[in-house]
Amino acid sequence: MTSPLPQPRPGRRRRRTLIGAAALAVALTAAACSSPGPSSSDTASAGGPVTLEFWTWSLKGGDPAAKAIVDKYHQQHPNVTVKLSEVGGTAETASKLLAADQAGDTPDVVQMEYRGLPALVVAGAAKDITADVAGVKAGVDPNVWALTTFNNQVYGVPQDIGPMVLTYREDLFDKYGVKVPATWAEYAEAAERIREKDPDAYIASFSTSQLEFFAAQAAQAGAAWWSTDGNAWKVGIDSEPSLKTADFWQDLVRRDLVKIEPLLTPEWNAQVNNGKILSWAAAAWAPSVIHSVAPDTAGKWASAPLPQWTPGNPAVPFQGGSAYLVPAKSEHAKEAAAFAAWLGASDEGSKLLLGLDLYPGGNAGRQATLTHEPPKLMPQQKDFYRLTDQVIKNTTIPVTWGPNVNVAQSAFEDALNSAALNKTSFREVYQATQRAVVADLQKSGYTVTK
Amino acid sequence: MPTTSARRRRPRARAVATPWLFAMPAIVLFTLFLIIPIGYAVYLSFRGFRIEGGGAFGRRVLTFVGFDNYLAALTDPEFVAGLGRVLLYGVIAIPSVLGLALLFALLLDTPRVRARGFTRTAIFLPYAVPGVIASLLWGFLYLPSTSPITYLAERLNAGPLDFFGFPTLYFSLANIALWSGVGFNMIIIFTSLRAIPTSVYEAARIDGASELQIAWRIKIPLVAPALVLTGLFSVIGTLQLYSEPATLRPLTNSISWTWVPLMKIYQEAFRNDNLGGAAAASVVLALGILALSLVLLRFFQRRTFGGNA
Amino acid sequence: MSAISTGDRRRSPARLRPRLPLIVLLLGALYCLTPVAWVVVAASKTPRELFTTFSFAPGSGFLDNLAGLSAYGDGQFWRWGLNSLLYAGLGAVLSTLVSAMAGYALAKFRFRGREALFSVILAGVLVPGIVLAVPQYLLLASVGLAGTHWSVLLPVIINPFGIFLCRVFANAAVPESTLEAARLDGAGELRIFCTIVLPMMVQGLVTVFLLQFVGIWNNFLLPFIMLSDQDKYPITLGLYTFLSKGAGDSDLYPLVIMGSAVSVVPLIALVLVLQRFWRADLLAGGLKG
């Protein structure tokens, strides 16, 4: 029981603590009044020292390759200091940038996946840098520039691109006598054969969380989920070619030929390690992801061109990849755009990006991949980068992302999840997503044409 | 006597100011970091982004949209379904957390029980584990390929267990809440048990009442007010359920982006850049919680305090 | 698990009874400790072992993982740890003090507007933090504090639940008579608070401190929205950047798990140290009122 009488000794100590706390509160108020905001300290006139705050997840503070890039730029531009900061992936970066934009306290360069760009453009958070990048225009392919160009205005410098391939377990495909599929029809046959040979194994997991994958599937089949028609948006998620891809995957799910399982969960990782998930159709970054969860399977994998819908037509769209944008309220927009242009589009910059284990969007970086070692997952596949280079040359399907990709993502993913679990119609999923996306566009005030 | 009243007035004036001075730091901070932001959120709930200037890449600007956001929140089937899920989850989680916490507290309070310090600390320990980490680690323990439970079940020929099916998902989530919350509630109930003077049940013990009878007839009624309050905070916490389903979502197809109301609100605020919609949904949720709390409090107050509390 | 045990208790012979409480409690302890043990075991695993070996089989990569965590971003993880200690430690101390003062005022003084003030503060528990984060950010940004340490410290000092608990503690632990006696002796109100009230409330304050420390330590959303300089991140935010990556980034599960294990250690230590304050009369039946 607490003593009802005051205890003198702890009391005195208490008081000292209290005085300390009071002093601190005063200091705190003083600091509140005097402490400069993070950006006001580096406001400088042109030519003076400039600090560029760079939000990126590809250039990590402690990574020597990232440090080499920054050091190189500092060497050439002694008045510029680039400060790297990782605030999360695309979704986190976008929401933070929008809040920062509202507060008028933005960074100077921001990495953003292509699909996240339009939402930031219509929010007015990204700056039109067409004039700033005019000088490096030739450093990047036009179909890559297309990913960051809206209404003929450039809003970002491409960093990396995702040419799509099929990465598969070469050893197990051989063992089970499965031919590497060249078309999606052959893919279904291969899936069937794998289920016969090993009842616990699947050709791939069916991950509903990969909106980009399904969008790419539809694009490969000839559909455009978003497109602009003059001043209006056109949404084609429920267009016939798109629905055909829905039918294809529904059939595989119905016949239990793919495993309904999100990607990169501990479960997926375990299945990949144990040779129970045998392939992953994704961009060229897939091998390094697989290697990080299943390093012991290195040497057993290979990549092949993505299967096709129409035999003989090798065109595929890009999947993933990101660009550098300059926030509209950056205080050093000129220097920021110059840095972004150097890193993404100059010969020197795009070659350095290769050191970050990503597939550079710039021509020089792409050229450099040809003499690069194959990914650690497939040291035996010496022609890996010749393959991806060929894929890029075939990549002629431009994908336009709309301003409300997030609305599509959650609507699509949630509906597809329940359809996959309850074995209901996938077409209905695409149609429901179409309705959600159109309704959201109209609510915001966009014109949507049929 | 004028002198006395004059001498009295000054201390009285001081006495009026004193509590306000003590409460001042809290009031200032509360105003700055809760009242003003809440006011701003309410203001935002009447605003939304609309396109200005037209065109496919027309700029979005914040404009007054009236009750659009409230209408959208109230008619959104996912928001309503999320409320339903949270209630179902709460029906499972709250009684198990409170029931088990009460059981442990009563057991700790039985005379001559051994290892009291160890078990009390052990049961409280999970409270220190962040919700995100707790969900991640239970995720590992639920997923078939990494789960020791599934491993053992398969050795016993019990077949694979699906922790994310229906209705098992609700129990899997409630289990996480139970694991992290039982110790905290146990401590609160236990301490109020210890505050009961032993003389209250010494007499019963001498009369030959068993420990079970003492617990049921004397102890539980005496700690009922503590149970009501822990229950009330559990209800509030339940309706604000977020981090467990949000962390488990990437691991399973059974949890949607908008599975519970707070996930829907987060989604609107941080992914769809629809702060207005998020604010409106939050106002609806907060009012709902307030109403439910008042109803529960009234109901239990009448029962536990005999209507005069 | 415990339901079965209570059922057993009813049926079991009388001589087993004294042991049953202990058995049930030990089962409860086992249930609570097993997942904690899993984190420690999992932290010792290499990526392959993590996904392929039996969950509780120790791995071979403990030191590697620890070294990997330390090496990440030139030892950034430890800096995050220090930041977390700063935010949670200082934030919880200030929060406890502010709560104690307010709780004491609400419990021991009768003044007009007392119940209204208390109700308004208590209603603060009802508003989900998710929707307040952005307005708080805009507010702090407008005075140039966003992105600084203060932006994470200041908002967590106010804690409605802490004020509620402090009021309960003050009601229960501070007798009117003691205050009256002190006032008659001519002691000032501040002096009474510091030398009499605070020592009497110390057990309750330990609870409030602990709850708030854990709350701040585990808080993710506020630092996420406030900070963009990685050097100022707390551990939770740092670990989150491990988990959320853009497509194509390598997978960091072992670092996340090792980081989780390390980040839980100070919290467990704190619980162990502070729990000795939790003697029998922690809440002193105060929750009755």
Average pLDDT, chain B: 86
Burial of A391 (0-12, 13-18, 19+ CB in 10 A): buried
A288 contacts in chain C (CB < 8 Å): 248, 250
The answer to whether residue B250 neighbours chain C at the CB level (below 8 Å) is no
Burial of C113 (0-12, 13-18, 19+ CB in 10 A): exposed
CB contact under 8 A, C21 and B37: no
Tokens of A37: 């905001």
Tokens of A193: 């054969």
Residue B221 CB partners (closer than 8 Å, separation 6+): none
* Res. B10 pLDDT band, cuts 50 70 90: low
Q: What's the order of all strands across the beta sheet hosting A164-169?
A: A279-283, A164-169, A301-305
Tokens of C209: 């401190």
Of residues A239 and A62, the one with the higher pLDDT is A239
- Count of residues making up chain C: 289
CB contact under 8 A, A320 and C247: yes
pLDDT of residue C289: 35
pLDDT of residue A8: 34
* Res. C244 pLDDT band, cuts 50 70 90: low
Of residues A3 and A391, the one with the higher pLDDT is A391
- According to DSSP, the β-strands at A232-235 and A226-229 are antiparallel
CB contact under 8 A, B146 and A121: no
pLDDT of residue C124: 84
pLDDT of residue C79: 94
Percent of chain C with pLDDT over 90: 44
Helix (H, G, I), strand (E, B) or coil at A253: helix
Q: Are C169 and C205 in contact (CB under 8 A)?
A: yes
Q: Please tell me the distance from the alpha carbon of residue A274 to that of residue B226, in angstroms, as a whole number.
A: 51
pLDDT of residue A437: 97
The answer to whether residue A312 neighbours chain C at the CB level (below 8 Å) is no
Q: Please tell me the distance from the alpha carbon of residue A375 to that of residue A353, in angstroms, as a whole number.
A: 15
Q: Please tell me the distance from the alpha carbon of residue A96 to that of residue C133, in angstroms, as a whole number.
A: 11
CB contact under 8 A, C251 and A289: yes
Tokens of B109: 């309070």
Average pLDDT, chain C: 84
Q: Average of pLDDT values for A238-251? A: 97
B55 contacts in chain A (CB < 8 Å): 151, 231
Q: Please tell me the distance from the alpha carbon of residue B219 to that of residue B216, in angstroms, as a whole number.
A: 6
A121: nearest CB among B57, B139, B272? B57
The answer to whether residue B23 neighbours chain C at the CB level (below 8 Å) is yes
Burial of A81 (0-12, 13-18, 19+ CB in 10 A): middle
pLDDT of residue B89: 96
The answer to whether residue A104 neighbours chain C at the CB level (below 8 Å) is yes
Q: In chain A, whose CA is at the least distance from the CA of B25?
A: A25
With a cut of 60, say whether residue C65 has pLDDT above it: yes
pLDDT of residue B92: 96
CB contact under 8 A, C28 and B119: yes
The answer to whether residue A265 neighbours chain B at the CB level (below 8 Å) is yes
Q: Are C190 and C206 in contact (CB under 8 A)?
A: no
Q: Please tell me the distance from the alpha carbon of residue B277 to that of residue C77, in angstroms, as a whole number.
A: 36
Which stretch of DSSP H or E encloses residue B88? helix B77-109
Q: Please tell me the distance from the alpha carbon of residue C175 to that of residue C180, in angstroms, as a whole number.
A: 9
Q: Which chains would you list as touching C if contact means 3+ CB atom pairs under 8 Å?
A: A, B
Q: Please tell me the distance from the alpha carbon of residue B242 to that of residue B164, in angstroms, as a whole number.
A: 17
Instruction: Give residue-wise pLDDT tens across range B87-101.
Output: 999 999 999 999 999
B188: nearest CB among C17, C134, C287? C287
Q: Are B51 and C145 in contact (CB under 8 A)?
A: no
Q: How far is C78 from chain A (nearest CA, A)?
A: 13
Tokens of B289: 């919680």
pLDDT of residue B113: 82
Percent of chain A with pLDDT over 70: 90
> ipTM value of the model?
0.86
Across A21-30, C29-38, C154-163, least confident range: A21-30
With a cut of 70, say whether residue B40 has pLDDT above it: yes
With a cut of 60, say whether residue B122 has pLDDT above it: yes
CB contact under 8 A, C247 and A86: no
Contacting A residues, span 179-208, partner chain B, CB-CB under 8 Å? 208
CA atoms within 13 A on the CB side of B80: 8
Which of A12, A105, A297, A388 should one mutate to test binding to chain C, selecting the residue with the greatest count of C CBs within 10 A?
A105
Q: Average of pLDDT values for B43-53? A: 90
Tokens of A283: 């961009």
pLDDT of residue C251: 56
Q: Please tell me the distance from the alpha carbon of residue A2 to that of residue C201, in angstroms, as a whole number.
A: 9
Helix (H, G, I), strand (E, B) or coil at B108: helix
* CA-based nearest residue to A306, from A181, A121, A140, A401: A181
Tokens of C223: 């630092």
Residue type, A153: Q
Contacting C residues, span 202-221, partner chain B, CB-CB under 8 Å? 214, 217-218, 220
Cα separations in angstroms, B60 against A120, A226, A407, A442, B304: 10, 18, 16, 13, 54
Of residues A115 and A24, the one with the higher pLDDT is A115
Across A374-378, B203-207, C135-139, C208-212, least confident range: B203-207
The answer to whether residue A285 neighbours chain C at the CB level (below 8 Å) is yes
The answer to whether residue A34 neighbours chain C at the CB level (below 8 Å) is no
Contacting A residues, span 322-381, partner chain B, CB-CB under 8 Å? none
Contacting B residues, span 64-123, partner chain C, CB-CB under 8 Å? 100, 103-104, 107-108, 110, 112-116, 118-123
DSSP A172-202: HHHHTTPPPPSBHHHHHHHHHHHHHH-TT-B
Residue C108 CB partners (closer than 8 Å, separation 6+): C170, C171, C174, C176, C179, C197
Q: Please tell me the distance from the alpha carbon of residue B129 to that of residue B125, in angstroms, as a whole number.
A: 8
pLDDT of residue B202: 83
Q: Please tell me the distance from the alpha carbon of residue A237 to that of residue A227, in angstroms, as a whole number.
A: 11
CB contact under 8 A, C283 and B242: no
Contacting C residues, span 138-157, partner chain B, CB-CB under 8 Å? 138-139, 154-155, 157
Instruction: Give residue-wise pLDDT tens across range A75-122.
Output: 999 999 999 998 888 888 999 999 999 999 999 999 999 999 999 999
Q: Please tell me the distance from the alpha carbon of residue A88 to that of residue A66, in angstroms, as a whole number.
A: 17
pLDDT of residue B305: 53
* CA-based nearest residue to B229, from A224, A377, C288: C288
Residue B94 CB partners (closer than 8 Å, separation 6+): B231, B234, B235, B238
CB contact under 8 A, A103 and C142: yes
Q: Which chains would you list as touching B if contact means 3+ CB atom pairs under 8 Å?
A: A, C
* Res. A265 pLDDT band, cuts 50 70 90: confident
Q: How far is A416 from chain C (nearest CA, A)?
A: 21
Q: What angle do CA A217, A218, A219 make, to 5 degrees?
A: 90
pLDDT of residue C260: 87
Angle between helices B131-142 and B168-194 (to 10 degrees): 130
Task: Verify cis geometry, omega within 30 degrees of 0, for the bond prior to B167.
Answer: yes
Q: Average of pLDDT values for B58-66? A: 89
Q: Please tell me the distance from the alpha carbon of residue B250 to that of residue A209, in angstroms, as a whole number.
A: 8
CA C172, C177, C178, C184 torsion: positive or negative? positive
Q: In chain C, whose CA is at the least distance from the CA of B13?
A: C111
Of residues A26 and B128, the one with the higher pLDDT is B128
Of residues B8 and B55, the one with the higher pLDDT is B55
Q: Average of pLDDT values for B23-50? A: 94
* CA-based nearest residue to C35, from A299, A427, A364, B128: B128
A445: nearest CB among B51, B57, B144? B51
Q: Please tell me the distance from the alpha carbon of residue C246 to that of residue A60, in angstroms, as a whole number.
A: 12
Q: Are B289 and B87 in contact (CB under 8 A)?
A: no
Q: Average of pLDDT values for B225-240? A: 86
Q: Please tell me the distance from the alpha carbon of residue B58 to that of residue A99, in angstroms, as a whole number.
A: 20
pLDDT of residue B191: 78
Which stretch of DSSP H or E encloses residue A233? strand A232-235
Helix (H, G, I), strand (E, B) or coil at C37: helix
CB contact under 8 A, C148 and A35: yes
CB contact under 8 A, A445 and B58: yes
Q: Please tell me the distance from the alpha carbon of residue B61 to that of residue B56, in angstroms, as a whole number.
A: 14
Across A122-126, A426-430, B104-108, C45-49, least confident range: C45-49
A285: nearest CB among C150, C224, C247? C247
Q: Average of pLDDT values for A171-196? A: 97
The winner for highest mean pLDDT among A29-33, A366-370, B212-216 is: A366-370
pLDDT of residue C245: 53
Q: What pTM, to 2 d.p., does this model score?
A: 0.87
Q: Please tell me the distance from the alpha carbon of residue C197 to that of residue A153, in angstroms, as a whole number.
A: 67
